[in-house]
Amino acid sequence: MHENRTPSDSPSPTPSHEASGETPFRIQYASRVYRLPPYMFGRINSLLYQKRRAGSDVIDLGMGNPSDPPEDYVIEKLAEAARDPRNHGYSKSNGIINLRREVAGKYLKKYGVRLDPDEQIITCLGSKEGFSHLCLALMGPGDTAIVPAPYFPVHMYAVALASGNVITLEVAESDRFLSNIAYTCQHLVPKPKLLIICYPHNPSTVTVEPDFFKDIVKLARQYGFMVISDFAYA
């Protein structure tokens, strides 16, 4: 179980008006905010900034930002779309249908899986936003999610924002990881509601064979939990 955050770790309250004699006002954050651990990349960036200000030559191994710029034709197409008045309004809530159809076509071509662009594909502002809203839709107070450790920060934060609990299981060889999932489901009351997996695993780079996913589906059906597969690096 992850450690809850204490109020002293929370964002600083708004400035008070003690100097003017007014009664200080402090924002009362929701309890879920105090359950969020410090953001790892934020801490890394802070340390990086301090070291560079002190004159140190530091290689940043934090976020995996691309080293090469996008292709010119991508930038040109983006600029062309930005100039089109038809794009100067709000998009549909589930995303542009032509884009969703293209995603379905690519998924079928690459993985041999047929997806319904109307029922099984939605566009988001980014993977973190989509992941967080998915957890809000699937989890509630008291629900538990199994998260492989070490974990990408949003896998923990999204569950916490949904007022859920987290159990971390160490990323290991696939057989041991599967047996640990089964053991947790057999002994935890109530049973876990959600399993989050990410392969190739971020940040450990662990990989699995295709049969691993079949075994995950079997366990999910046997113990009645849902599975989120963060397919970021496939």
User: In the prediction, which pLDDT does 63 show?
Assistant: 78
Mean of pLDDT values over 35-50: 87
**23 pLDDT higher than 50:** yes
- pLDDT confidence tier of residue 233, bands split at 50, 70 and 90: confident
Mean of pLDDT values over 64-80: 91
- pLDDT confidence tier of residue 229, bands split at 50, 70 and 90: very high
Architecture per CATH, domain 127-229, reads as 3-Layer(aba) Sandwich (3.40)
Mean of pLDDT values over 115-136: 93
Quote the CA–CA distance of 163 and 179 in Å, as a whole number: 27
Torsion region of 229: left, alpha or beta (phi above 0 gives left; psi -120 to 50 gives alpha): beta
Averaged pLDDT score across all residues of the chain: 88
- pLDDT confidence tier of residue 119, bands split at 50, 70 and 90: very high
Adjacent-strand bridge partners of 147:
168
User: In the prediction, which pLDDT does 12 show?
Assistant: 52
- Residue 226: name the closest of 115, 132, 133, 139 by CA: 139
Mean of pLDDT values over 109-135: 93
Mean of pLDDT values over 215-231: 96
- Residue 139: name the closest of 152, 155, 127 by CA: 155
With 0-12 / 13-18 / 19 or more C-beta atoms within 10 angstroms meaning exposed / middle / buried, residue 124 is middle
User: In the prediction, which pLDDT does 32 show?
Assistant: 84
Q: Sketch the domain layout of the chain as residue ranges.
A: 72-111, 127-229
Q: Are 201 and 230 in contact (CB under 8 A)?
A: no
- The backbone torsions φ and ψ at residue 219, rounded to the nearest 5 degrees and listed phi first, read -65, -40
- pLDDT confidence tier of residue 15, bands split at 50, 70 and 90: low
**2 pLDDT higher than 50:** no
Quote the CA–CA distance of 34 and 8 in Å, as a whole number: 9
Quote the CA–CA distance of 124 and 131 in Å, as a whole number: 9
User: In the prediction, which pLDDT does 17 show?
Assistant: 54
**51 pLDDT higher than 90:** yes
- Residue 156: name the closest of 45, 32, 31 by CA: 32
User: In the prediction, which pLDDT does 223 show?
Assistant: 97
Mean of pLDDT values over 224-231: 94
- Residue 3: name the closest of 160, 192, 132, 184 by CA: 160
Dump pLDDT digits (tens) for 139-190.
999 999 999 999 888 999 999 999 999 999 999 888 999 999 999 999 999 9
User: In the prediction, which pLDDT does 19 show?
Assistant: 58
User: In the prediction, which pLDDT does 217 show?
Assistant: 97
User: In the prediction, which pLDDT does 215 show?
Assistant: 97
